[in-house]
Structure 1
């Protein structure tokens, strides 16, 4: 063996055993592609001149080179596999195929074609892994044939498969072939916006598709470059120019794919919320504010201190229950100990179906003698009660009125925590999910947190425990620790809040803005490359516009004849609110529900994309509902915008240390 060959062999041995740690750190396709390009470049530099395989002296050395190249390829493969587990677990293409199944649309056909091409490349990749596993027992001709296929000009060979994948993303003749696949996906998502069942935002789905395709390109590039190396070892030629052309074409394809991805990502929505579940379960998927404003039957004789009936029901817009005249119907129901509001006369006599003692309702339904009904009339488990108005001294009619009761008693759950819910930024943790939870009689915002790593990677963590309290606890103060909903203060602002560029979300809270419950997020600057948070530069962000603003006042979202939202069964309730709106918690419709429920209900399903492994930049409070339904107040999140980080770093022509930095970007309010 020549001295030069021996030195080169030792250098390659060091490369194969020591450089794997360098690749181990790659956690996204951009960094992985760059590092694999560097490994390929170093392998080519170390190969030297092709072997003369006609000499039997060189055959053992050739086998050593072969094993070293395959060993090096195995290290590259392990780095690819680690990232592959992250990318493919979301199954972006499978999700899109499921959404478009049976439509027969152009998108579905192209998705099937893309799936088929990716499967063929994956099959070749699995074959290569088998060859690396059994390389000691393989014949040279087997590896030579596989390497030849990996660089063949045949349409069904690896280069042809990669070109066909690319043509679906970046059509060579757009005027003939139409829009690229990513744009078609974006168009379909914007027409059918709900991805809530998959817990991925539009942005995430397209980003995952980009990662899947880019990872396929990396696999193909690695197989092709190492195939040229093997063919060189086998004495089939020098292949320096061929390898250079492979690198150039890979660079062109990845740059064009990145351009298409950036364009689609820029337009894709990043918001995510939960759909209605298959079955609504109180305490599991939703919770209720109870007895805030509830339909209540009261006779006018009991709403004044003189026990007279000289006025009418409409007179009592704001009253109290002062007595129970002669133990009539008032003695058969729970008395309203708070304020009685907006009374109306419907008819003199009625049949009332009382609710069970454990229910938050007072009545299941009411049927008046004139035929009018409030609520859904049906079987009455406790039996109906006849309630009749009466005449007093022939002149005054003591009427039973239908009113609203605002009673902040122990039976009423109407409290919202004003405490901050934040991640542990000192230990580099960020918010990875949000949910509204009901603890006792108090609603809280709860977050999940994960550890931020390099290049936007998040290691899932846990749901941060809620600090439970009761409004009656010592040292717990109204409008400091909690807010009590009342007739005058029952509004909640509906906003979508996002962090400025260079920052991510590290907390949420509710505070009072006038009489409104108001949502805020905490935003913290971070370094994308290193993943480090600037903990001391966190700020709270909100939209402090009010409905009394002189220029563009916050608009009210009106609820029209709102029924109980769990009765709406046809499809999942859509988001019908917009940023810079508000709504007021109110009673359900008199006709539909006898005004027995407080609506909207509270959606308590967790919103945690990718099970806590996703980077979030913002969040919001929304309303999901339609006309005739009270709907749900729910939380939403905004996934991080990766478009500014999507680029194609070409494989280096000379070794280049990773010099990428991302400076902290100051927060701009």
Structure 2
């Protein structure tokens, strides 16, 4: 399959090329070159119409040429049949308006030129279909247009398309359209998140679309020379050979321009913020890991004394509920109480609903300080006052953190690997983080690898579900429990070695860090066969204690990320880590655990892209907790981009004597 070149980059509606479909354009070019050569061989010597050649002989040769052309047309149509059209590229390029006049103008020019070639291609197909009803003059006029030196004829259109890719005079015409598009795509581009395309994929699609246009143009021109030869207009052997050389020269330069752009094009792909955040659909939360908690010091020691201050209780627990005061109106912290501090003696507390993961909606102190967003309170505010005991000791209410594992806390990460069925030649085609029960999992989608990088889409691999209370399930082996001491997650971006493809992902523990790894499997690009026995796990095992330690991504006064008024960009780098922590006291009364978990599925162009790597990243900014999210790396096709000239039409020694005229276009 291949993208329909005639509709690419149209100003209103464009077709998008799937990577696996576009790859076969290279093979198609070679096959059509061979078909053209065979057709010239079958055609034989030109007819001498002045010698009184019978009309049936002309018609017979005409039918031979058109039948060979029909064969080529069917090969192209086979690549185009069944392709699901999208407006993905159209949407992207439509949003390029205003980004740069040079790129926008050249895209419009490219759209116009390709549309003209497309019209000629459609006309040719119609002539092939109706050949028995057509007059000879109709075919003759069309053939003459296909080889005319006029700028508006087919050769001129193809040369002008090529000049947009590889300008003949860069100091006058500037850089090529692939380079200009790449400059735009390399920036933070939310449209690529929406389309689930990497810049590398999009540049590669553009290259293949233009290559298919060249193939169609070459076929039309060569068969036009053949028809004109049949009609006694001349021999045209030299002209056909010159057409071949021009085609080879253009495709070679286009391939070189594409390789240069692809070599530096980003291959990473991730999801950006959705139009609307929805828990359970676009994100999930780690809950009650470290949560703001009000406790009086009298309840944090066995003796029920108030001899210390709040700062004394760096690590404590709930012992009693002294005289059923505020402690009787809230659920006690049944875990560890950490890092208490004194803010003010008296306060008004808005308690959260009974089914909420929060303890409080907001807290307003008598000194005017407010924790969280004060407003209406469904359950009504509760007045909480500290008190003096025996005139000597002040029994203060402290603001602490509660680390409370249990049924209300979702803080568990599966350590089971998620792998594709390599024995049946399946590879990873998508990745997402999901939560089942209280456990977070990595989940992959898989597809079947075929020849030359093609992928037959599959489906999401079912989760290996478990609950931490299931028999035989052990902490540290089957899952990891986040805690105050072990709440770091490593942020790494991992890619496979050359010749390998992504076939699995997993978390494992390195010290106190939740660590991400990928499984890579070697494959034969031509045949599409995997070598499962040579699979390997790849990771970045760096730690804080190394010579060049892993750096920490610090969350500064982190509010709930869904409150952000602007989209959150990727702010992490490879070889970093971030710690799950509480949201900011002032912004949210420390009621949420951040970062949140982005659970949007990441599946490039619906599971048909070849993927070589994956990673765990953080999207966020100053003042927000951000999101932990997945990232993928699409396969690097740059080393497979090449142009093979069609086989020579005339004797090689004779062809060497050809002198190419200067490029008039």
Q: TM-score range with shorter-chain normalisation?
A: over 0.9
Moved more, 130-139 or 283-292: 130-139
Contact 2:335 2:405 in 1 (8 A): yes
Report the CA distance between 1:75 and its aligned residue.
Answer: 2.3
The CA deviation at 1:192 is 4.0
- DSSP 3-state at the match of 1:30: helix
Correspondence for 2:462 among 462, 465, 478:
465
1:305 aligns with 2:305: no
Structure 1 counterpart of 2:259: 262
Deviations, residues 369-426 of structure 1 (Å, cap 9, x unaligned): 1110000001111111111111111111111100000000100000000001000111
Mapped partners of 2:219, 2:48: distance in 1:
25
Whole-angstrom distance in 2 between the partners of 1:321 and 1:74: 84
The DSSP-based 3-state class of the residue aligned with 2:133 is coil
Tell me the equivalent position of 2:425: 428
Choose the corresponding residue for 1:613, options 602, 608, 612.
608
Counterpart for residue 13 of structure 1:
none
Query: Which of residues 556, 570, 573 in structure 1 aligns to 2:568?
Result: 573
- Aligned residue for 1:185? 181
Contact 2:270 2:602 in 1 (8 A): yes
Q: Does 1:143 align with 2:139?
A: yes
Measure, in 2, the Cα distance between the counterparts of 1:240 and 1:584: 72
Q: CA deviation at 1:52?
A: 3.8
- Residue 94 of structure 2 corresponds to 98
Give me the whole-angstrom Cα distance separating, in 2, the residues matched to 1:499 and 1:89: 31
Alignment match, 1:286: 283
Q: Which residue of 2 aligns with 1:122?
A: 118
Q: Which sits farther off after the overlay, 224-233 or 303-312? A: 224-233
Question: Which stretches in structure 1 are left out of the alignment for 5+ residues?
Answer: 1-24, 656-669
SS in 2 for 1:44: helix
What CA distance in whole angstroms lies between the structure 2 residues aligned with 1:654 and 1:230? Answer: 16
> Match of 2:586?
591
2:367 aligns to what? Answer: 370
- Flag the 1:447–1:654 CA change in 2: closer, same or farther, 3 A: farther
The offset of 1:87, in angstroms, is: 8.5
Once residues 60 and 108 of structure 1 are traced to their aligned partners in structure 2, the CA distance between those partners, rounded to angstroms, is: 52
Q: How many residues align?
A: 629
Deviation readout 1:109-128 (Å, 9 max, x if unpaired): 11111111111111111111
Q: CA deviation at 1:88?
A: 9.0
The CA deviation at 1:104 is 5.3
Cα separation, partners in 2 of 1:229 and 1:492, compared to 1, 3 Å:
same
Cα deviation 1:312-357 (Å, max 9, x = unaligned): 1000000000111111111111111000000011011111111111
Aligned equivalent of 1:476: 473
User: CA 1:556/1:85 → structure 2, altered by over 3 Å: closer, same or farther?
Assistant: farther
1:47 pairs, out of 40, 43, 46, with 43
Q: State yes or no: 1:35 paired with 2:28.
A: no
Q: What pairs with 1:492-641 in structure 2 (closer than 5 Å)?
A: 492-549=489-546, 551-570=547-566, 572-641=567-636
Higher mean C-alpha displacement, 87-96 vs 137-146: 87-96
The equivalent residue for 1:398 is: 395
Partner of 2:271: 274
Partner Cα separation in structure 2 for residue 86 and residue 593 of structure 1:
52
CA distance in structure 2 between the partners assigned to 1:278 and 1:79 by the alignment: 42
The whole-number CA distance in structure 2 between the counterparts of 1:387 and 1:479 is 41
CA distance in 2, matches of 1:471, 1:495: 27
Match of residue 351 from structure 1: 348
Using the alignment, how far apart are the partners of 2:102 and 2:53 within structure 1? 59
Tell me, in whole angstroms, the C-alpha distance in 2 between the residues paired with 1:569 and 1:37. 56
- The Cα shift of 1:82 comes to 3.7
Indicate the residue corresponding to 2:16 in structure 1: none
Asked if the contact 2:23/2:453 (under 8 Å) is kept, the reply is: no
Decide whether the 8 Å contact of 1:87 with 1:208 is kept in 2: no
Matched, 1:249 2:246: yes
Deviations 1:226-266 (A, max 9, x none): 11111122222221111100000000000000000000000
**Hey, what does 1:324 align to over in structure 2?**
321
**What is aligned with 1:485?**
482
CA contact (8 A) 2:270 2:632 kept: yes
The alpha carbon displacement at 1:519 in A equals: 0.4
- Is the partner of 1:235 in helix, strand or coil? coil
Flag the 1:510–1:26 CA change in 2: closer, same or farther, 3 A: closer
The 3-state SS of whatever aligns with 1:261 is: helix
Displacement of 1:74 in angstroms is 2.1
CA contact (8 A) 2:40 2:649 kept: no
Question: Separation in 2 of the partners of 1:178 and 1:90?
Answer: 31
Residue deviations 1:256-284 (CA, integer Å, cap 9, x gap): 00000000000111000001000111110
Query: Once the 2 structures are TM-superposed, how far is the Cα of residue 543 of structure 1 from its aligned partner?
Result: 0.3
Q: Distance in 2 between matches of 1:158 and 1:556?
A: 59
Check whether the contact 2:289–2:581 (CA below 8 A) recurs between aligned residues.
Answer: yes
Q: Is the 8 A contact 1:93 1:115 kept in 2?
A: no
Structure 2: how far apart are the matches of 1:88 and 1:475? 46
SS state at 1:118 partner:
helix
CA contact (8 A) 1:93 1:209 kept: no
Q: Which residue does the alignment assign to 1:227?
A: 224
Q: Is the 8 A contact 1:38 1:652 kept in 2?
A: yes
**Equivalents in 2 of 1:27, 1:563: separation in Å?**
46
2:77 aligned residue: 81
- State the Cα deviation string for residues 560-607 of structure 1 (Å, max 9, x = none): 00000000122x210000000000000000000000000000000011
For structure 2, list consecutive stretches of 5 or more residues without a partner in the other structure.
1-20, 651-665
- Give me the whole-angstrom Cα distance separating, in 2, the residues matched to 1:124 and 1:190: 35
Distance 2:45 2:576 in 1: 71
* Residue of 41, 59, 66 corresponding to 2:62: 66
Residue 241 of structure 2 contacts residue 648 of structure 2 at CA under 8 Å; is this kept in 1? no
Tell me how far 1:96 sits from its aligned partner: 4.4
Query: What is the deviation of 1:67?
Result: 2.5
Maintained 8 Å contact 2:200/2:267: yes
Q: Per the alignment, in what secondary structure is the counterpart of residue 512 of structure 1? A: strand
Q: In the alignment, is the contact (CA less than 8 A) between 2:414 and 2:507 conserved in 1?
A: yes
Alpha-carbon displacement from aligned partner over 1:535-560 (angstroms, at most 9, x marks no partner): 110000000000111x1000000000
Q: What is aligned with 2:127?
A: 131
Single out whichever of 67-76 and 205-214 deviates more from structure 2.
Answer: 67-76
Q: TM-score, normalising length from structure 1?
A: 0.92
CA drift at 1:632: 0.3
Deviations 1:129-177 (A, max 9, x none): 1112222211111111111111111110000000000000110111111
Matched, 1:645 2:637: no
CA distance in 2, matches of 1:327, 1:61: 110
Whole-angstrom distance in 2 between the partners of 1:556 and 1:294: 22
Q: Distance in 2 between matches of 1:79 and 1:383?
A: 74
Does the C-alpha gap of structure 1 residues 27 and 647 become closer, same or farther in structure 2, counting only changes over 3 Å?
A: closer
TM-score under structure 2 normalisation?
A: 0.92
